[in-house]
Homo-oligomer: A and B are copies of this chain.
Amino acid sequence: MKEIRALAFDVFGTVVDWRASIIREGESLGRRKGLSVNWAAFADAWRAGYQPSMERVRRGEIPWTNLDGLHRALLEELLEKFGIEGLDEAEKDHLNKVWHRLAPWPDVPEGLARLRERYVLATLSNGNVSLLVEMAKRASLPWDLILSAELVRRYKPDPEVYLMAPRLLDLEPQEVMMVAAHPDDLRAAAEVGLATALVRRPLEFGPGRSFRIPESGFDLVAGDFVELAQRLLGREATAGPRRRGAPRPPSPG
């Protein structure tokens, strides 16, 4: 494996817990507005519309629309479906931008802080730029670079999105490692030459919905970002040139 220089992160589900964040904001809105809504079902339905919406853009059925735009069209349908009434335009816009305010999984701050010492850290997300910037600022995510599908007007898994990372960072594809909780995302990245790390996020779709994903075929598998940092930095610490020829620690006994 070639030396990794940059890590490119999927965001929704991998870095942030979209489901719990949407439920939390939905419940707060419901209390203020006196709404009786199953916000977990609402969050799941919103997320379920994500792939089909992007597919319509990818197939050219609708012109390029960024993720805020796709989320908003889906939101209009969901407001109807869940019987949510009485939101004015500013309130709808604010609710739509809950995707800008998603909270990271608990291991993310420590993991990214460690990884940042050694690697260039970039997003590589279908989220639009303003969404990723606002999310990073609110949650103090220390990205060196925001890369978004919006910059090439293509959605993952189109190869142009993945190839943007090595192209703009002036690296070989194998010097960039895609980090994601989703095998399909990683397989598409590997297809164009990127290295891959699977991070397990068993709670992405909520507690009690345990599911198994295939873990073979990736360069690295980790339980969270802290383990990812340990694996990547530990590998360098033991295999890197600085340790070569270093004296061994005395063996116990």
Binding site for B on A (CB under 8 A): 68, 120, 128-130, 133, 136-137, 144-146, 150-151, 168-171
Contacts and interface: CB of A to CB of B under 8 A. Distances in A.
Contacts of A133: 120, 144-145, 169
A9 to B, nearest CB: 15
> By DSSP majority rule, is chain A's interface helix, strand, loop, or mixed?
helix
A130 B168 contact: yes
Copies in the complex: 2
Contacts of A137: 120, 144
Lowest 4 CB-CB distances: which A-B pairs, in order?
A130-B170, A129-B168, A130-B169, A133-B145
Given A68-B170, A130-B171, A144-B146, 5 more contacts: A128-B168, A128-B170, A136-B144, A145-B146, A150-B168
Contacts of A120: 133, 137
A130 B169 CA distance: 5
A151 B171 CA distance: 16
A169 B145 CA distance: 14
Contacts of A144: 133, 136-137, 146
A68 B136 CA distance: 29
Nearest to A150: B168
A89 to B, nearest CB: 15
A97 to B, nearest CB: 9
A170 B150 CA distance: 12
Nearest to A146: B145
